[in-house]
Amino acid sequence: MRGMKVRSNSAEETRRFGEWLSQFLEPRDVVGLAGELGAGKTMLVQGIGRGLGVSEQVKSPSFTIVNEYSGSLPLYHVDLYRVNSEDFFKLGLEEYLYGDGVVAIEWADKIQGFFPGDGIYIILKRLDGQLRELDLTTEKNIDVGSWS
């Protein structure tokens, strides 16, 4: 596993990072996101959606648990805020992990023991005001040095 850190100075920059990250995503990739409320998890998924050509507005699926979007690849946006790891399997949410699209999971720390080893795991931390640190761990060949 490789670890990389990126700083984001605004919500829009977090979206742009997600858009940049989307170029590395393939069917069945899982992007797990963790961090406190307001850390920027949904903003990052909005950027991934933008990068995948999703024309709809990507919204947090807090109450619906999963939102599905069409783009160059399907995007399955999962929010586990109200779901525990046992419910994840009872609801059949693991089926998304074997689908034909990209799965972005907010609150992925709730299923950390079941998180795919070849996924992308990002912990978002609020540092000060709009400043965020994105701590990315993955086995994929991603060089954040090319992020600007």
Residue 14 lies in a domain: yes
Share of the chain above pLDDT 70, in %: 97
Residue 24 lies in a domain: yes
> Is residue 44 very low, low, confident or very high in pLDDT (cuts 50, 70, 90)?
very high
Question: What is the model's pTM?
Answer: 0.92
Distance CA 47, CA 129 (A): 20
Residue 52 lies in a domain: yes
The SS3 of residue 39 is coil
Position 43 pLDDT exceeds 80: yes
Residue 146 lies in a domain: no
Within 12-116, strands assigned E span 30-34, 66-69, 75-79, 102-106
In the chain, the number of structural domains is 1
Residue 127 lies in a domain: yes
CATH number at residue 97: 3.40.50.300
Within the chain, strands assigned E span 2-8, 30-34, 66-69, 75-79, 102-106, 120-128, 131-138
Residue 42 lies in a domain: yes
Domain that holds residue 89: 2-140
Residue 44 lies in a domain: yes
Express each pLDDT in 63-115 by its tens digit: 788 999 999 999 999 998 988 777 777 887 778 878 889 999 999 988 877 77
Residue 145 lies in a domain: no
User: Which own/partner pairs from 84-87 qualify as long-range (CB within 8 Å, at least 24 positions apart)?
Assistant: 84/110, 85/110, 85/111, 85/113, 85/114
